[in-house]
Amino acid sequence: MISTFHGIEMGKRSLVAHTQAMNVTGQNLNNLNTEGYSRQKIELQTFSPLYIPGLSRENTPGQIGQGVEVATVRRIRDQLVDNRIISSSKDFGYFDMKNKYLHQMQLVYAEPSVYNDPMMYNTLRRGFDEFMNAWSDVANNPEEKSARTVLVEKANILTNSVQHHFQQMTDIRNNVNMEIEEKVKEVNDLAMKIANLNDRILRSEAVGDNPNDLYDKRDLFIDRLSKIADVNVSREDSNELVLYIGSKMLVQGGEYEQLRMIPDSANCGYNDIYWADGEMVQFRGGELAGLVDLRDVDLYEEQKKINSFAVNVTDLVNEIHRDGFGLNGTTGNSFFIEYPYTTDASGNFDADRDGADDSTYLFKISGTNKVELTDKIGIRGEMNINGVNIEYTETDTLQNVINKINEAGAGVNAFVNAQGKLSLKADYFTDGETPDFVLRHVEDSGMFLTGYAGILQQSGADGAFDSSNVGEVAKLRADSVWSIAPLTDPAVYMAVDSKIKKDVNYIAAAGGVDTTGDGIKNISNGSGDSSNALRISSLKENHVMVGMSMTFSQYFENLVADVGSRAREAESGFKVQETMMNNLENLRKSVSAVNLDEEFANLIKFQHGYNATAKFVSEMDKMLETLIAKI
């Protein structure tokens, strides 16, 4: 038999259910602007009826309902959209960082020029052009000190500009490294928080709860993490969420791993990122991948290019300048300061810092024999220069062989110097294994570098020059000319020699003659001669950069165009990814965001349901009151 108070109990259940429904609606409205919040939906179901089929049940028709109850409160979320956002975030983060910093690199080359103050900075190309023009003015007026004074001022502007541009790139690189450190700390912090939430969520689920707010918070952290690194999410185990970076687990349930940063002495002390087991983290997307690429590729190579400009201007100008004569009759003076990598006269250096020399660092080697570019060499063989094999045949001209060396990608420039002798000059490297501008290996199986050019004493492996050994100048011809590799980052210390700054009479504008037959000019052509200044000014149009394929002007154009091209590519990639992410976020919001109209409609619906139930309870109360009063 049905209880007399059955209606009251049924009404109570309805009041509780509609109250909870209004609370859920209020929760949605209160979190309208909360980042990462997913709207929640209450699901109501009928309470289990009194009677079920059976022989012992009361003989009454049908089942007797007991009202309504809350089945669950679930959050509205589309897992497929979430997965697409996680997958796309790594590309968005990567291009975001590339776009941000490549634009800053562009601005370094786009700075306005200032010429009325020699201590002010200007663009590299304009500074170099002004410097070359000043040499032309000296050539036109070799005896006027005013032209020489202007030359020194223009040289100071150029060197200050080189130092400034290099320092700007260094500052940007330092900022990128600091951001890498911050991002790694953020990854570690997010990993810890996600693992903690995994544990709390598991505990809540174990007692039958739906921890919707914890789900939202965890998904928000995963979204942030997926922009920083290429995160993969595994939900195969319903009791354990797993996060991977690459193929390594970052978070597994309540356990997590912390990334470590270890300074790399070979990379200016910048931090490399490692797992706890010592394996380096390989990022394939995300902000960290973009930042590491910027620091160790884009900015690293840009610094190398500025160094290459500085060392080549210094070397080429000094080589000619030392061959000329100043107004005071002196010769053999350098125009720019040179700092060798080692103070040993033979280029010997202790590379492993164990107290004993173990390497030979040479920058340039010039042969002893005069050669002609158009001559056929008439010999066959194979050279190995810095690990790159280069063949030559009898029908090759010297120009052909030089082109083969310069186009081989060995990091060596070959050319015929002002004395008509073959020279090999090292360029920069990007592998970080040895200092830049060091000839690593020079070997010839034939006679080109020995008998023809007069660089090596002996053919074959036994006669090869190798920078990883000490005392390698003994492998060179005794009368060959070589120079020691410059100190690291020549752009930092590029400056006019103090002797010339103090006395412009040391500027060697005049040429000279060799009266002793030893190949060294010992008598000046006179103060009115400007042949040496003309030789220096002609460097502007000579192909002396990047495998002797570019002039300085072309080198600058390529430098600026390359950064501009990379910046445009990054900006384009960023805009594409930004549009994609906005579309995905809008798609997620269309599913999960709180809709005011819908929530107000629910509020009215549940309010009416509550009022109707209250009326029902009131009527049941009156019936009971009548029944009790009559009895």
Please write the tens of the pLDDT for every residue from 188-203: 999 999 999 999 999 9
Give domain status of residue 136, yes or no.
yes
Shared domain check, 305 and 293? no
The model's pTM is 0.88
Shared domain check, 413 and 291? no
Q: Which long-range contacts (CB under 8 A, 24 or more apart) does 567-570 make?
A: 567/99, 567/102, 567/103, 567/105, 567/106, 570/95, 570/98, 570/99, 570/102, 570/103
Q: What is the pLDDT of residues 101-115, one digit of tens each?
A: 999 999 998 755 444
Q: What is the pLDDT of residues 201-244, one digit of tens each?
A: 999 999 988 999 999 999 999 999 999 999 999 988 878 899 99
Q: Residue 62: what pLDDT?
A: 62
Q: Please, which pLDDT band fits residue 626 given cuts at 50, 70 and 90?
A: confident
Q: Please, which pLDDT band fits residue 60 given cuts at 50, 70 and 90?
A: low
First to last CA, the chain: 19
Shared domain check, 195 and 339? no
Q: Residue 120: what pLDDT?
A: 45
Shared domain check, 265 and 220? yes
Shared domain check, 373 and 312? yes
Q: What is the pLDDT of residues 563-577, one digit of tens each?
A: 999 999 999 999 999
Give domain status of residue 164, yes or no.
yes
Q: Residue 292: what pLDDT?
A: 97
Give domain status of residue 109, yes or no.
no
Give domain status of residue 111, yes or no.
no
Shared domain check, 383 and 258? no
Q: Residue 308: what pLDDT?
A: 94
Q: Please, which pLDDT band fits residue 118 given cuts at 50, 70 and 90?
A: very low
CA–CA distance from 491 to each of 297, 337, 598, 599 (Å)? 18, 11, 65, 65
Return all residues near 96 (Cβ < 8 A) that are at least 6 apart: 227, 287, 290, 574, 577
Task: Report DSSP state, residue 211.
Answer: -
Give domain status of residue 55, yes or no.
yes
Q: Residue 405: what pLDDT?
A: 95
Q: Residue 576: what pLDDT?
A: 97
Return all residues near 288 (Cβ < 8 A) that are at least 6 apart: 180, 183, 184, 187, 228, 229, 273
The whole-angstrom separation of Cα 300 and Cα 294 is 8
Task: Report DSSP state, residue 235.
Answer: E
Residues 586-608: what's their mean pLDDT? 94
Q: In the chain, what percentage of residues exceed pLDDT 70?
A: 95
Q: Of 170-179, 265-274, 429-438, which range is least confident?
A: 429-438
Tell me: pLDDT of 49 over 90: no
Give domain status of residue 113, yes or no.
no
Shared domain check, 55 and 163? no
* Residue (of 348, 454, 442, 335) closest to 389 by Cα position: 442
Shared domain check, 336 and 228? no
DSSP 425-482: EE---SS-SS-SS---EEEESSSIIIIIT--BSS-SGGG-EETTSTTGGGGB-TT-EE
The chain-wide mean pLDDT, for the chain, equals 91
Q: In the chain, what percentage of residues exceed pLDDT 90?
A: 78
Shared domain check, 211 and 170? no
Q: What is the pLDDT of residues 480-513, one digit of tens each?
A: 999 999 999 999 999 999 999 999 999 999 999 8
Shared domain check, 465 and 330? yes
The whole-angstrom separation of Cα 155 and Cα 497 is 10
Give domain status of residue 319, yes or no.
yes
Segments forming the whole domain that contains residue 250: 82-99+180-298
- Could you say which of 547, 566, 585 is where a domain stops? 566
CB atoms under 10 Å from CB of 454, counted, come to 20
The whole-angstrom separation of Cα 536 and Cα 132 is 8
Give domain status of residue 592, yes or no.
no
Strand intervals (E) in 212-361: 231-237, 240-245, 248-252, 255-256, 260-263, 271-274, 348-349, 359-360
Q: Residue 520: what pLDDT?
A: 76
The whole-angstrom separation of Cα 593 and Cα 41 is 12
Shared domain check, 504 and 439? yes
Tell me: pLDDT of 580 over 90: yes
Q: Residue 119: what pLDDT?
A: 47
Q: Please, which pLDDT band fits residue 56 given cuts at 50, 70 and 90?
A: low
Residue 448 identity (one-letter amino acid): F
Shared domain check, 474 and 519? yes
Number of domains composing the chain:
3
